[in-house]
Amino acid sequence: MSPTSAAHLTCLCGNISVPGSLSLGLAFPPLSAPPAAETLAELMAYKVSEKSTVYFCPTCGSYCFISTHQKNWFCTSGIIERSVSSEAEEITWPKDTVKITCHDHVLDTIDGGMTPFLLNINGRTLPTWPAAVDKSTDAKTNLSHQEVLSFSQKSLNGLAPPGENDYLPAKCQCGGVSLLIKRGNYTSDSSIEFSTRSLPSNPTKHLTYMCACRSCRLSTGASLTPWTLVPPTSVFNGNFPTHNTSLHSDHNLNENLQPATLGHGTSDPGSNPGLSLKHNWSSPGTCRSFCGVCGATVSYWCAKRPLELDLATGLFRAEEGSLARDWLEWGWGRCSFEEECVDGEMLDAWKGCAEVMRASEERQTVNVN
């Protein structure tokens, strides 16, 4: 991997704006030196574990840097931009900001997550690590590709599908943002008003898609951001005091649930008690929300479609795994603003993922029922 000085690191609000010197490789590209002290002073630090700390922008929530206990530094791939000087000097900019070389912590997903369609990319067979990457000479990846492909089916075994009045928990890393998402109900007699493009084919699920726009990339730190479309009226405050402690709330206890306020009304007095939400109005009529403690992306709302809310899919805590397939209808291959994507390999893999991911769903149907 060859280093480049043509990169520029920035977040959505421009709170950090520094030249980058990095190696284009992992989704978390390694930095050749720690960020400058004045840059880190503009960011919030959150200790994820004894081994790593993340740094995010307190204004827009963008994840920017990661440091490890071994004093290694990484940036997130989404904040990498082409520098003005490189454009002026007509330096060739690569099709891909990063090149994926492996997958680690795959078991954390339970169902394999996005790994199944990223196992082989442009002739490269990528190793899959169950936990952290082990670079010792006798290390083994342990997970075969066939095993990874079987996770989605196995994750649903023995689980009863959610009921009509159940709620999907959504929570950030620190727990400061905890939400409950009402199961989808997009039947003809439902009061939900959604555009046709946002309606799932399965009325009991919520539609999930990818976005590659520059604004989402800079606000999340990710090249591709998975969003789930839900009605704002289906999102409730999971940290509001209630005597219901189960993950799947009984409909008889609905009176004890308080709606979460995301987008319009976020500044109203008394909104979102117990939640560590912060909001960035990135443009007139556009509100992006995130956790003010750990920086987790939470939602996107815009006045052009006020009855639709984009929730960060990575927050969902479904029993069956990170893809929450019992709750979500994934629009495999669907991507908004793909012309703005800076990672062509990743986008191509996503656009071509429908066959492998739908085949996995078919195997679930055959084996579970």
pLDDT one-digit tens code per residue, 310-353: 999 999 999 999 999 999 999 999 999 999 999 999 999 999 99
Could you tell me whether strands 206-211 and 328-336 are parallel, antiparallel, or unpaired per DSSP bridges? parallel
Give me the pLDDT at residue 354, please.
Answer: 86
Cβ neighbours for 122, distance < 8 A, ≥ 6 positions apart: 345
Average pLDDT, the chain: 82
Percent of the chain residues past pLDDT 70, beyond the cut? 79
- Name which of 25-34, 123-132, 194-203 the model is least confident about: 25-34
Question: What is the arithmetic mean of pLDDT over 60-69?
Answer: 92
Distance CA 185, CA 192 (A): 8
* HSE (side-chain half, CA atoms, 13 Å) at 46: 22
Question: φ and ψ at 229, to 5 degrees?
Answer: -85, 125
Count Cβ atoms within 10 A of the Cβ of residue 163 and give its class: 0-12 exposed, 13-18 middle, 19 or more buried.
exposed
DSSP annotation string for 169-203:
EEE-SSSSSEEEEEPP--STT------GGG--SST
> What percent of the chain lies above the pLDDT cut of 90?
45
Nearest Cα to 150, choosing from 335, 321, 346, 349?
321
CB burial class (10 A; 0-12, 13-18, 19+) of residue 144? exposed
Please write the tens of the pLDDT for every residue from 14-59: 444 443 333 223 368 888 899 999 999 999 999 998 889 999 999 9
Helix, strand or coil, per DSSP, at residue 145? helix
pLDDT(174) > 70: yes
Q: Confidence band (pLDDT; 50, 70, 90) for 191?
A: low
